[in-house]
Every structure is written in structure tokens, then in C-alpha cells.
Structure 1
Amino acid sequence: MTDSAYPQPTADEIPDAMTAREQWLCWREEERDGKPTKVPINPADGNWASTTDPETWSSFDIAYEFATEWNYGLGFVFTEIDPLVGIDLDDCRDAENGRPTPVAKEIVGALDSYTEVSPSGTGYHVILQGRLPNDRNRRGKVEMYEKKRFFTVTGDHVEGTPKSAKERPEELDEVYDEHIGVETTSVGNEQASSQSSTPVLSDSELIRRAGAAKNGEKFQRLWQGQTTGYASQSEADMALCCLLAFWTGGDAKQMDALFRDSGLMHEKWDEQHYGDGSTYGEVTVARAVDVTDEFYEPASGDGAASAGSRPSFRQPQQRGQRAYDAERIRLLEQRVQELEALLGLKEERIQMLEAEMGDGEPAVSEPTVDQMGEESDSVSEDSNSLLRRLFG
């Protein structure tokens, strides 16, 4: 391993089952919403990589050369084709003395496959061969992935564990059932019930169509991780999720997977922010589906929508327009209250001036109608600016 700020393990420090596959990318840390986020990078050209686009991945040798030359980390992408599964255990290891929590020790011991320390030094990554028994990927601080996800790779092997990715199908099922398989949150149950068995569009077709729509420029900016024009990261997250809700037909599972592949993905997405254990991402997806009143539907007879099919809609309005109605009304009501308050202040000033004039005292210069109009126009412009930022 080199002296880089990022871990850059050599091929002999990583299981052959991983280095033999051209599923490698690089990564770097960027701060988003005040927190560090791991951004995937294409080793071939230095542009943004995607966990659903093999054209942005490379062999281990190419990724390693790029990482060492430009000081990036190395990452491995899990796909439906390979037999590999990655288990991510967060906040389960003392970075100073290396002591694991009892739960982490139990999981690592039960799986008995290649295990390494995460870049932060406070977690573990376990790599093995098998298949997840269900689509649920996370509960608490335990995550499991077999597709559309990349893991940072450190090569910091945990002593006492195998140096290869072992076949552990039965052990994986047992650990999964115990630590992930049980639904524990109301949001999770709502999402599970709202998910359709077959997506309206495949991920790649959805991204293509959303980018070519009338509001496609807005989608592309958000998809690439650009938050310019939004007051906060959370506002941008919600805007993208509302667009994804429309195009997925309200499929919470597909929305979550797509958001994770977008440039807006950040660590806060998987953090528990609510008393029932729900994560920020789960609640954001659920709220986006809740406020979306129209959804994309393929034309009748097209099944999952062929590339040339014409879209139909549950309601004949402009795409995505009603997805933001609730928020639009709230903002308009807020602006009306501000204008009413402004008019109230002006009435008080007029009454005060009239009283002073009646007492024969010198009158203070009263604002003209034009000046009052200018202040009102200023508030109106601020309102319009905010609406344009939120609703495109």
C-alpha cells in the first residue's frame, strides 16, 4: 500500500475474485451538506463514474495506475453478473485499538470470508460469494449489497479472516435473516407495499427519457449532483426524488437505487434521523411519492415501455407539475403573509403621519405610491425567484 491520503492496495492484497474482474473505479471525497461523500471516478478519463454503467469501469491495473498517479482511492462495483456480495459494517471498530463490537465480531466470524478495515478505520467490509435472499439492503449499521453499488477497497486485511472471497451461501442467509431481513420501520413497510414487481422503465431508459423531457435540463443538473439554485442539499434531494417518483411510477425501491447512483448521493442518506429508526433517505423517498399526484405510464400495450413508445399520464397535466403543488402552495401562502405584514406596516406609518399633521407638527416625508410599489415588487420578485428555483 502506498503513502497516499487514500488507500491504494496492490493486487496481491485483494482477493483474486475481485482483481480478475473489470469492475474497478476510483473515488475521492467531496463535502456535501457539510459531510464527506465518496464520489466515484472513471479511471479512463477522470470523469464521474456510475455503478450502472460498465463503460465507466476499468480493470484493476488501469484503476490502480490512475489512483496512484492522481491520488485517488480504489473502488469495486458489485453487479448482478458476478457472484460477489459486500457486507458493510459501520461504526463497529475502535480505530485506536482495533477492537470490534460484539455484533461485528459475531458477523465477521460467522461469514468467515475476506474482511478488511474500512477507510475510516471504524468499520469492516466483508467480501464473499453468495446471493442475498431478499431486496432489503440495510438495517441499522449493517448493509449488504450485490449490485449497483461500489465499495471502497483498502486492502487492510483483518488478521484471522481468509484472504479470499469464500462461498458462504448458507452463512449469508443466516446472517441476513438475523440482521437485515426483519422490517423495523413504518416507512419501510409503506415503501415495501408501494413497490411494483416490475419497474415502469429500466434504470438506463428512465435516465434517458427524464433527460430528454421538457424539464430534462433540470433533471440532468440534479442527476449530476449540481445544487446551484437550491437553498440546501435537502431541497435538491427532494427535487430529484420528486422527478424520480414521477418516472418510476412511485416505485420507492427503484427511486432509492437511482438516487444512490446519482451525483447527489451523500452519507446522510443512510443516517437514522427519526425516532422509529427511519433513515433520511427513506423518509425523503416516502414524502416525494406522497406529494406526487401524477406518474409516468407506458402507452397501452407497451408493457415495460419500449424505446419508441409514447408516454401516457394518469392526469393530463405538464410533466412533473403537480409533484410540487403542496410545496408551491405553502410558499405562496408564506409570501402572502409577508405582503400582508408589509401593508400593515405601511398603514401604521400613514396613520402616524396623519396624526402628526393634525397636531401641526412637521410631517415626515411620506413614502410615495411608487416607492410602496417598488417595495411590493421587490417582495414579489423574491417570491418568484424562490418558486423558479424550486419548480424549474
Structure 2
Amino acid sequence: MAATPVDGLGVVFTADDPLVGVDLDDCRDPETETPTAWAADVIGQLDSYTEVSPSETGYHILITGDLPEGRNRAGDIELYDRARFFTVTGDHVADTPTSIEARTEALATLHAERVAVDTSESATAAPSTAAETGSANAAGPGDLADSELIDRATQAANGDKFSRLWQGDTSGYPSQSEADMALCSLLAFWTGGDTTRVDRLFRQSGLMRDKWDEVHYADGSTYGATTVDRAVARTTETYTPAAAEDSPATTDDPRTLPASAADSAHTATTETAATEADTVDTTTRAEARLDRITELTSRLEAVLAENEQLREELAAERERREALEAEGESADTGWWPFS
């Protein structure tokens, strides 16, 4: 039997707690109240507190442990250990623990089997030899250490812009929020759209502030999570690092190519990010201005309302004083029979 819903109740994941949230979407039949086969496997694999999600078409699983690095979502599975809000329904799934269990090893297995690799048909159809692909050992952004990725970003064609934002310089932006979005857009390009890694890297930048983990939206989303999601959603091109050393002709890493090719590679891989970031900047500025106009309009309405109230109080005070003065004049003009 479903629990009575309570508006606003939920949990926010932060870097300071051991909680990890596993979000399973489109895997539950609301009529039969049964999970799909793959969802049942995940629920059994993690064996921790599980409840039905607000949509009633999925599940939320809460565990404690360490979320592996790399991508945090694939298909209908999402894994979060920070900057996310889970609405708590209390609709506990029968036969699952009523407590939140430590499941680091199970989480690592889940991540490796269902999240870290692309399980689409195109990705699972592996070629028989490296020659068929030209680069069987090509790496992705996730294979680079954070320091290496930041190093490449600072050396790119728009590296000066990245460096300023990374160091916390907001000059040229009407507000820090717009600078936050610009840096997240660049990080989305360099990380291949990995929201968890964008969040982790942003926290290392000079732009990080307490506001990042504050809930700013009606659905309980934090400012930081929403900024990252918007930046990733608007980034259509992402960085592809060098292929294996034995296939230099196929790499797009500008530092491993001849000078002439490096110039072209720099332009191809970094100007896209600069253009998209500038587009996001423009859109974000428009949104920020609209928010500012809305805020000022609300303030103006409040001031006008207060002014009207003061006018009414002033008019009432004048009437009171006029009445008192009228009573005083009546007393002065009255006659007294004795002298």
C-alpha cells in the first residue's frame, strides 16, 4: 500500500556524506506494481532501501558507498552522490531492506556492467580486429586524469578564457551565475558531457561558492545541479582525446600532430567549445536579465503596496486629528454660567 505523499520531503546528496542515490526510470508498471526484469536485477544486486519514485514508473535506491569515477548515467539508470535532490515518497518496496546499507562493491559492479560502458547495439558490436576500426585503443575523456584534462583545456585555443574562469575571474560577465554557466559549458565539452565530472571539477575551481549546493528551485534541485544539467544539455560537441600511440594519424590531440595538423586540430576541437559557450553566455544573460526584471517588478509591487498602506494610515490619522480638533473647538466656544 502506497504511503501518503508529503510535499517537499526529500534528501540532498552532498560531497560530505556517504549517501549514493540510484535512480531507475521507466521500469515499473503502475497497474501491476511490478518492476521490469533488469530493474529487479538491480534492486536485488544492491539490496538496500528501495522505494517507488514520485512518477510511480521507477524506483529510488539509497545506499552508502563510493561512486566510481566516470559517467554516472546510461539509459534509464542514474547514479548520484552529490548535487542532486531525491524526493522521498516513503512508498517502500516490499522485500527490500528498510535501512540504507553499505554497498560499495555492489555499486562498483553495477557501474562497470551497466553504466561505465555503452550498452547500445552499436557499442556492443565490437570489430574482430583493430585494423577494422583504425583505432581499437582510442581513449575517451574519462581516461584522462583531472589534472591532465584541465591542462589541455588551458592550452586550447580558448584557453585564456577557460583559465580566467577556472581561477574565479568573472570579469566580462554581468553576474557570477553567468560565469558559472560559461565554465560548466566548457567543462561539459572537455569531459564528454559527464555531469558528475563537471560537478567535481567545478568544485575545484575559483568560482565554487556555498550557493552551489543550495536548493533554488521548486522541484528541490540545487543551483549547481541545474547549472550543470543545463550546460551539458546545450553542449552538442565534445572533446575526443588522442587515440593510442600506434595510431597517430587518427588522433585529434593537437600536441601529438605535426605543426600544420595541430593548428587545424586546435581549431576543430576548441573553437566549437568557445562558440557554444558564447552562445550559452548570450542565452544565460537573457535569462538572467529576465529573472532580474521579474525580481525588480516584484519589489516594485511590494513597495507600491506598502506605499498605499501608508497613505491609508496617514489619511486615517488626519481624520482622527481633525475630529480631535473639532471637539476642542466645540469646547472652547461653549458658555459657562458662572464667572
With structure 1 as the length reference, what TM-score do the two structures score? 0.41
For the pair shown, the structure with the greater C-alpha radius of gyration is 2
With structure 2 as the length reference, what TM-score do the two structures score? 0.47
- Judging by fraction of residues, say which structure has more helix: 2
Indicate the structure whose relative CO is greater, using CA pairs within 8 Å and at least 6 residues apart.
Answer: 2
